[in-house]
């Protein structure tokens, strides 16, 4: 699933290329991707003729603001992609579900093989009632700057395993399986350490590791795994996977101490860690 660095990469590219453009037409090819609407025509009517004013991100959600108090929400789910093409006549990729064409040229395509992602539009003024998931998100580790002391206070309130906490979207928004493992390795902490058990030094290490790991991943334009399902809006893969220290490296030597990287199943998900470097 695309996580914060991948969604932030897409957000920045869209901000450069789409803001200021006016929607000429919208075509829905797959109803499941717009399932929050009673019919595809509802989405079409809300978007056509409106100009894009802003591109924001909240956790793993893309929030595209259009004039007339309309907010287009995009969640990529497990395999979703937003692809930009200059020529709308270019052949469609398999599993293309929504086409947004602009009057100034170019087309944005929502592609999603597994159809867990979605796209929907709502009046911006009705977000609290129509989109309560947004209000339940925790702090944004890149946007919401806080002191490590405040971070430690938040950790101490939750006596739970660190990996479970980092992937809890109600605690911190945008982190998933890949980056929780990479953050914990950078901090030298095990996935099952209780959040309330950390010393002041460990709290500082964890906060620094979280911010630095995510920022570095954004610089590398995210991680594309073996399936290459994550691609940016130009169809290019990210390259942060080459920087992974533990994720997907079971049995390979730790780049810090050379011990074999271990893998455990937690809540049905694989967790990678170094049994020697992480305590």
Tell me the catalytic residues.
Answer: 2-3, 60, 269
Q: What is the three-class DSSP state of 92?
A: coil
Distance CA(222)–CA(10), nearest Å, equals 10
Instruction: Answer yes or no: are the C-beta atoms of 103 and 24 closer than 8 Å.
Output: yes
Query: Tokens 């980056």 correspond to what residue?
Result: 179
Vertex 267 angle, CA 266 and 268, to 5°: 90
Coil/strand/helix, residue 277: coil
Exposure string of 74-90, with b = 16+ CB inside 10 Å and e = fewer, is: bbbbebbbbbbbeebee
What CA–CA distances, in Å, run from 102 to 27, 114, 234? 12, 26, 16
């Amino acid at each position: 699933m695309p996580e914060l660095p991948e969604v932030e990469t897409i957000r920045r590219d869209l901000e450069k290329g789409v803001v200021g453009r006016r929607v000429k037409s919208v075509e829905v090819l797959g109803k499941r991707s717009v399932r929050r609407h009673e019919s595809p025509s509802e989405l079409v009517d809300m978007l056509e003729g409106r100009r894009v004013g802003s591109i924001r991100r909240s956790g793993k959600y893309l929030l595209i603001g259009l004039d007339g108090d309309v907010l287009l929400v995009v969640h990529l789910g497990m395999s979703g992609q937003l692809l930009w093409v200059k020529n709308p006549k270019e052949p469609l990729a398999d599993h293309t579900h929504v086409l947004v064409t602009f009057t100034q040229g170019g087309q944005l395509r929502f592609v999603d093989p597994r159809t867990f992602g979605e796209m929907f539009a709502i009046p911006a003024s009705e977000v609290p009632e129509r989109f309560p998931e947004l209000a339940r998100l925790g702090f944004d580790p890149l946007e919401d700057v806080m002191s490590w002391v405040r971070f430690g206070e938040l950790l101490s309130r939750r006596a739970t395993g660190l990996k479970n906490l980092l992937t809890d979207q109600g605690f911190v928004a945008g982190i998933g399986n890949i980056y929780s493992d990479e953050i914990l390795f950078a901090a030298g902490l095990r996935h099952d350490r209780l959040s309330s058990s950390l010393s002041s030094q460990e709290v500082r290490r964890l906060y620094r590791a979280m911010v630095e790991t995510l920022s570095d991943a954004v610089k590398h334009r995210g991680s594309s795994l073996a399936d290459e399902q994550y691609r940016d809006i130009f169809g290019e893969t990210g390259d942060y996977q080459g920087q992974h220290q533990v994720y997907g490296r079971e049995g390979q030597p730790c780049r810090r101490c050379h011990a074999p990287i271990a893998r455990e199943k937690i809540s049905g998900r694989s967790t990678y860690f170094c049994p020697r470097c992480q305590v």
